[in-house]
Amino acid sequence: MPEPSHRLRWAPIPATSLNIELSLTSGQVFRWTRNAGGAWLGAVGDIGAYIVPAERGFWWATYPPDRWNVVEAFFSLQVDVESLYREWVRSDRRFAELIDLFRGLRILRQPPESALCSFICSSCNNVPRISGMVGSLARLVARQLAVPWFEELRADPTLVDLARVQERALRDAGFGYRARYLAQLGRLACSGLTPDIEGLERFGWSEARAALMALPGVGAKVADCVGLFAYGRHDVVPVDTHVRRYVVARFRPDLATRSLTPRVYDALAAEFRGIMGPYAGWAQQYAYMAARSGVAIASLQGGTG
């Protein structure tokens, strides 16, 4: 595989501000791969990206070339995480531990339709299997990008792309019950029966969220993932099993035995947002990682200081 080494450009963003590996492997995106030389390869929409992490920054290339705006937006580089960290520790002293563990973890900004497909696949599932499905989906429906330094790279899929595959084929590829949702979504999109998913970004969140939740396979959690990971709604808190455990153990033990009804879901999200503030969605990713890796819940339990 020829590499774009002669065209690599430098971005002086230290790993303390952007931990590339952590950000790309934290269950937000599922299709980035690392080559033997430690370079990360992936697609952002229909742009190919090549990223080499280093201590004081990273080397990068895109195809088509020099699309810094794409890299910058994808990693949400306009967000100053250091100031978030200061705020978070003021809001919740024990967040210091999570910041130490996951410093440089960022919310990535993905194309909305692709994020929608990925998180429909995420229900009752684990990250390795989700990665397998999201990879299969791209191979089955998304178009191949002519990136000279990567033999096989697919664009991020769109909803109309989904119509290229039958539910049967998705089931055969191991998507399980999610196959029906994706196939339905493709048919709806091709018939013009889905809203303009990109355009929803400009609506108020409650309206956009309701429109997303009207789609097959999309409930509150998946809609919130699109809000946070695609629309840049920094305050939206997707409540999955891990975040639920975290918020219950940390702040709402009274909800420990309650099942996750829409009310309880909203209460947990509101609790966390009330404490962590306008970037609660970003903070959510740290809580998610902590709960998922099992390190923090016990030590964080009890007390509020």
Partner DNA sequence: GGTAGACCTGATAA
Partner DNA sequence: GTTATCAGGTCTA
**Which residues of the shown chain bind DNA in the complex (CB under 7 A)?**
26-28, 122-130, 171, 174, 176-180, 213, 215-223, 225, 238, 240-243, 258-264, 284-285, 288, 292
Q: Does 221 qualify as catalytic in the annotation?
A: yes
Peptide bond into 64 cis (omega under 30): yes
Q: Kindly state the smallest distance separating residue 179's Cβ from DNA, in Å.
A: 7
Q: Kindly state the smallest distance separating residue 195's Cβ from DNA, in Å.
A: 15
Task: Identify the active-site residue in 31, 154, 178, 221.
Answer: 221
Cβ proximity to DNA: between 59 and 205 the closer is 205
Q: Which amino acid is at 274?
A: G
Cβ proximity to DNA: between 114 and 285 the closer is 285
Distance in angstroms (rounded) separating the CA atoms of residues 107 and 236: 12
**Reduced to 3 states, what is the DSSP secondary structure of residue 44?**
strand
Q: Tokens at residue 182, please?
A: 């994706």
Cβ proximity to DNA: between 257 and 304 the closer is 257
Q: Kindly state the smallest distance separating residue 184's Cβ from DNA, in Å.
A: 9
Q: Which residues contact 195 (CB under 8 A, 6 or more apart)?
A: 211
Beta bridge partners of 57: 54
Q: Kindly state the smallest distance separating residue 95's Cβ from DNA, in Å.
A: 16
Cβ proximity to DNA: between 54 and 173 the closer is 173
Q: Kindly state the smallest distance separating residue 126's Cβ from DNA, in Å.
A: 3
Give phi and psi for 11, each to the nearest 5: -125, 115
Cβ proximity to DNA: between 157 and 238 the closer is 238
Q: How many residues does the chain have?
A: 305
Helices (H), 174-217: 178-190, 205-213
Distance in angstroms (rounded) separating the CA atoms of residues 117 and 181: 9
Is 158:197 a contact under the CB 8 Å cutoff?
A: no
Q: Which residues are catalytic?
A: 221
